[in-house]
Amino acid sequence: HINTKEQCTSRSGAVFIALSDYILESGGIVYGARLNDDFSVTMERAESKEKRDKFKGSKYVQSDMKDIIKNVQEDLKNNKKVLFSGTPCQISGVISCVSEEYKKNLYTCDIVCHGVPTKLVFNDYLKFIQEKYKKRIKEFNFRDKKFGWQSHIETITFEDASSISTEYFRNLFYGHNIIRPSCFECNYATTHRPADISIGDFWGIDQIAPKFLDTKGVSLVIINNEKGQELFENVKSQLNIIECPIEDCIRHTYTLNKPTPKPITREKFWEDYKCKDFGEIIKKYGSNLQLD
């Protein structure tokens, strides 16, 4: 995104902000995932940029769709443009619930998903951190950009304004033991995707086009159909863009080739989870370091 402020407050290159700005400025509605004050993640409706800004940033936990599909149907019936952003499986569900006569105003944007972690582990992790530090958590940043776009370090801010930065939840996530079983058989881990546009981090840009590397973040954008092309044409003036062969785009993002593999440790992890305390789980599965 040309606007560096948007880039710094977004997870990668702020393409979602450009796309959703266009829809909002057309009098449309944007749907996305929000991390709430109680650290639950829900799909929400936004008709302003202020509300839409709550959708910024990564959330490595399953989101609750609530009754959002009914809202999408209602907005489309009222002749509103709608941009729905979410995981490919969520988007596939939304598309299947919209009748053909209303689909012309529905635009969809999926994220290149690695797999969806269960809320149970995230909630237990928050509880563990609060008990360990004897403080209430005020904010949770899954990927703190102050450590650079290519890093993956979480920052937890407490009510007394102190904070800690760790990789514990990241390590649990990338261990793949905590993601949903269905993710290991994902039908959308390919370049043939249900959404009009797919976005994610452009991993490997430093090798593919080193001059285009931006430490504030680089987005991967895959245009999947004519509607996606139309949407992108309306926002590309706000973006610094470079065209790359699809082979380069997917080389370093394996879930565009195949689903996340099921780890051989998964059954053992859940056996341990039932009988060990969370500190032991982190020591065994979330870190090579002993907790201080």
pLDDT tens string 204-215 = 788 887 778 776
Q: Average pLDDT in the 7-26 region?
A: 77
170-203 burial by CB neighbour count: b if 16+ within 10 A, else e?
bebbbbbbbbeeebbebebbeeebbbbbbbbbbb
Going by pLDDT thresholds of 50, 70 and 90, the confidence category of residue 245 is confident
| Cβ atoms of residues 30 and 56 within 8 Å | no
**pLDDT exceeding 70 applies to what percent of the chain?**
92
Q: What is the 3-state secondary structure (H, E, C) of 148-183?
A: CCCCCCEEEEECCCCEEEECHHHHHHHCCCCECHHH
Alpha carbon 129 to its chain centroid, in Å, reads: 23
Which residues lie below 8 Å from residue 23, measured CB to CB, with a gap of 6+? 29, 30, 81, 82, 83, 107
Residue-by-residue DSSP string for 102-158: GGGGEEEEEE-----B-HHHHHHHHHHHHHHHTS-EEEEESS-GGG-TT---EEEEE
- Quick one: pLDDT at residue 3? 54
Q: Which of 186, 199, 203, 201 is closest to 259 using CA atoms?
A: 186
- Quick one: pLDDT at residue 12? 47
Q: Which of 164, 137, 163, 168 is closest to 152 using CA atoms?
A: 168
Which residues lie below 8 Å from residue 238, measured CB to CB, with a gap of 6+? 1, 2, 3, 18, 21
pLDDT at 292 over 60: no
Question: Which residue stretches of the chain are H helix?
Answer: 4-9, 15-25, 49-52, 68-77, 88-96, 119-133, 168-174, 205-208, 226-233, 246-251, 266-275, 278-281
User: Which residues face 164 on adjacent strands?
Assistant: 156
pLDDT at 9 over 80: no
Determine whether 94 is exposed, middle or buried from the number of CB atoms within 10 Å of its CB (0-12, 13-18, 19+): buried
- Quick one: pLDDT at residue 211? 79
Q: What is the mean pLDDT of the chain?
A: 89
Higher pLDDT, 101 or 5: 101
CA distance 179 to 246: 27
Going by pLDDT thresholds of 50, 70 and 90, the confidence category of residue 20 is very high
For the sheet containing 137-141, what is the strand order?
Answer: 137-141, 154-158, 163-166
Q: What's the pLDDT tens digit per position in 123-132?
A: 999 999 999 9
Return the amino acid letter for 203.
W
Dihedral over alpha carbons 45, 50, 52, 56 (to 10 degrees): -140
DSSP conformational letter for 209: -
pLDDT at 6 over 70: no
| Cβ atoms of residues 261 and 184 within 8 Å | yes
Q: What is the largest CA-CA distance in the chain?
A: 59
pLDDT at 141 over 90: yes
- Quick one: pLDDT at residue 290? 38
Q: How many CB atoms lie under 10 A from the CB of residue 98?
A: 19
- Quick one: pLDDT at residue 10? 43
Q: Which of 148, 166, 222, 170 is closest to 191 using CA atoms?
A: 222
- The least confident of 7-11, 158-162, 238-242, 249-253 is 7-11
Higher pLDDT, 291 or 174: 174
pLDDT at 147 over 90: no
- Quick one: pLDDT at residue 215? 67
User: Which residues face 291 on adjacent strands?
Assistant: none
- Quick one: pLDDT at residue 13? 52
- Quick one: pLDDT at residue 8? 46
Q: What's the pLDDT tens digit per position in 46-94?
A: 999 999 999 988 899 999 999 999 999 999 999 999 999 999 999 999 9
- Quick one: pLDDT at residue 208? 81
